[in-house]
Structure 1
């Protein structure tokens, strides 16, 4: 599977980083989420694939901060967007990420996911959780989850695969669209990519 496809499927190291330490809650949640999503996807048998994908998408929703992800992915134009436009952007990006993520993870159903017990504490209080996903050719893919504590859970707002940031990849794409078509053009493009899916 190409790295770019994996990046677009799953989930900003621009803040200064302090020291590595163990954050059991963040590590435990990322590990549990990865285990559960693969367990759900393993129930697919060819005839119930759409239903299983939907179940997987619903499962991950509470653990991703789609508002923050969208704002970071859209970048500077986010500030000029109206409340109504922001709502549509978040909804469109959420559908895109959920669908891409579960579709990609389905190809790694039998993969071995390892989550590092040590985390990296960012200066703004966010926590970076490092993991690796085993592949068929035996070469692990390194995946970093940037999380922010929200109540009693940590919510993912960025994912980097082999150092390539999901948010950055989409920001580059979105900026090109906004330059030529504006915010409404980006909203239309997201709806088109999602094929009317909600």
Structure 2
């Protein structure tokens, strides 16, 4: 089984030279790493994480050469600590999450994490000096438990792409758990595909499918 819809939308949003929808913001390579404070205002938090991620990619020769394993390591270091993959996976699994054993839940989170890292690592190979991601004015309540941070991705000779990030306030501060590319939310897209695979081959079948997806 494959999970084509969201990765395809992601690649279309990227375009031939456009950076994928990830926790990035345009910045000059070599800038000093910023402190990403999960307890700051949502836009400030995301901006710091984003700048650090893009700086790391632009400053790393192997990443700029498109080395997927190397880029995946950068994603794990700079982006994944600020993503709540347990919540993302639980919401994507929907009602089937309650049917899973503790071991299956752990395995599903790990498998889905690997799928998303592979998806975004492929996007990071398209970083160029012309890539820019801008934060839009924050519309919500920064003291709320749930917030949406809106961004636009732009590239010369391409139309801007809107990408929204949904964050939850946790005991550790803000965590990203969902994103919207071109009007399609990641969790909703994968929920339909997860349900289809679970109905066909069970939860273990879904875990196997995610682990074999390259």
Q: Is it true that 1:33 corresponds to 2:49 in the alignment?
A: yes
In the TM superposition, residue 153 of structure 1 has moved relative to its aligned partner by: 2.9
Q: Does residue 149 of structure 2 align to residue 143 of structure 1?
A: no
8 Å contact kept, 1:10–1:166: no
Structure 2: 5+ residue stretches without partners: 1-6, 14-19, 23-38
The alpha carbon displacement at 1:104 in A equals 1.1
Equivalent residues, number: 182
SS at match of 2:150: strand
Distance (whole Å) between structure 2 residues aligned to residue 85 and residue 170 of structure 1? 17
Provide the residue aligned with 2:16 in structure 1.
none
Aligned equivalents of 2:66, 2:156: Cα separation in 1? 25
1:133 paired with 2:153, answer yes
Equivalent residue runs for 1:57-136 within 5 Å:
57-110=76-129, 111-121=131-141, 125-136=145-156
Of structures 1 and 2, the one scoring higher in RCO (CA 8 A, sep 6+) is 1
Structure 1, 74-83 or 130-139: larger mean CA deviation: 130-139
Q: Give the structure 1 partner of residue 212 of structure 2.
A: 192
**Change beyond 3 A, Cα 1:156–1:118:** same
* Residue 167 (str. 1) matches residue 173 (str. 2): no
Structure 1 gaps, min length 5: 12-22
For normalisation by structure 1, the TM-score amounts to: 0.80
Q: Tell me which protein shows more strand as a share of its residues.
A: 1
Are the equivalent residues in 2 in contact too, given 1:70–1:93 (CA < 8 A)? yes
Q: CA RMSD in A?
A: 2.7
**Aligned partners of 1:109, 1:152: CA distance in 2, in Å?**
33
